[in-house]
A and B are shown apart, each in its own frame.
Chain A
Amino acid sequence: ETGVTQSPTHLIKTRGQQVTLRCSSQSGHNTVSWYQQALGQGPQFIFQYYREEENGRGNFPPRFSGLQFPNYSSELNVNALELDDSALYLCASSSYDPTGELFFGEGSRLTVL
């Protein structure tokens, strides 16, 4: 059974640039959630994709967008990067079940200069 993998693991961007982060979900999971974890904070929910559609969103602006593909892998796109976007971005895959476990990848650490 393959776990959740994310790429890239680290990246550095400058203000105003755009970034795409990728996530391969665990086998058998149809739901992908993205979280932002700033330094010293808990993960903050960005959005969730279920069967290729966004079906829930946290308090993040529209410049945060995503996709889910037929194989349930996912992308997180952030446009017009700001310094405060510097964080660890975590992808979690799961079954569509509020009681279910989230299986996290190791994250993509984004630094915006």
Chain B
Amino acid sequence: AQSVTQLGSHVSVSEGALVLLRCNYSSSVPPYLFWYVQYPNQGLQLLLKYTSAATLVKGINGFEAEFKKSETSFHLTKPSAHMSDAAEYFCAVSFSGGYQKVTFGTGTKLQVIP
């Protein structure tokens, strides 16, 4: 079975500081990995995805993530936080074969302090 674990349900950073949101996955087959963002009272929006090509993936709004197989990690980073980055971030995993079931983590709420 596939699963993701997000370390830290709440993360606070100062505006302009590095953002690091942690995600570890568990999968018996090569995974596809995603980061989604959810703003208050909205649905989820894809930030970026890893699908077995380049291990460093760049997404929207200046975010990027690196797939590290040896560490089973897919951490999300952004060099400089902006106030508009305040939202909840979800790591997710899918896999090839069968139906398109995407399994989400429990989420990390990012607070950006001015």
- Give A contacts to B, CB under 8 Å: 4, 31, 33, 35, 40-45, 48, 50, 55-56, 58, 90, 92, 94, 96-102, 104-107
Contact = CB atoms under 8 A, between A and B. Distances in A.
Given A99-B49, A106-B41, A42 B99 contact: no
A48 B99 contact: yes
Interface stretch (B11-19, B67-75, B79-87, B104-112): B104-112
A58 B99 CA distance: 11
A101 B98 contact: no
A31 B100 contact: yes
B92 to A, nearest CB: 8
B43 A105 contact: yes
B102 interface: yes
Q: Main SS of chain A's interface residues?
A: loop
- What is the size category of the interface that chain B forms with chain A? 20 to 34
A23 B19 CA distance: 34
Interface of B: 9, 32, 36, 41-46, 49, 51, 90, 94-107
A90 to B, nearest CB: 6
Q: Main SS of chain B's interface residues?
A: loop
Nearest to A42: B104
A104 B100 contact: no
Contacts of B36: 102
Instruction: Report the 4 A-B pairs with minimum CB-CB distance, sorted nearest first.
Output: A56-B99, A104-B43, A42-B104, A99-B51
30 contacts: A33-B101, A35-B104, A40-B9, A40-B107, A41-B106, A42-B105, A45-B101, A45-B103, A48-B100, A56-B98, A56-B100, A56-B101, A58-B101, A90-B43, A92-B43, A96-B100, A97-B100, A98-B95, A98-B96, A98-B97, A98-B100, A99-B51, A99-B94, A99-B96, A100-B100, A101-B46, A104-B43, A105-B43, A106-B42, A106-B43
